Amino acid sequence: MLLALIFRGVAFEFRFRDVEQSHLLGSCFGYGSAIATFAQGVVAGRLYPRLSGRGPAFVGGSFDCFTPFSLFTGLALLSGYGLLGAGWLI
């Protein structure tokens, strides 16, 4: 998520400075925003059911956050933000 936010910020800054590449950098800004939103949904979907742990220590691997529920939550948040943006445009 952090890398997507950095990518998004760099694309936003350089979009107005490089007029010839503004279309490409605008697309990069959109992709960075979509990846950051999806990552936010995956994290929220993994924290909701419960973290696997024993006492104060976490028991699990690096990819334990990718469950079917968390991936669905990421897609749902992505579509929810799209619906919110469409509502503001209307």
**Tokens read off for 70:** 């968390």
Q: Residue 19 belongs to what domain range?
A: 2-49+64-89
Compute CA distances 87 → 25, 73, 79, 83, whole Å: 25, 21, 12, 6
Q: What is the pLDDT along the chain (90 residues), one digit of tens a residue?
A: 889 989 888 888 888 787 788 888 888 888 999 999 999 999 888 887 665 556 666 666 778 778 898 899 999 999 999 999 999 999
In this structure, is residue 54 part of a structural domain? no
Backbone angles phi, psi at 56, to 5 degrees: -85, -5
Number of domains forming the structure of the chain: 1
In this structure, is residue 32 part of a structural domain? yes
In this structure, is residue 56 part of a structural domain? no
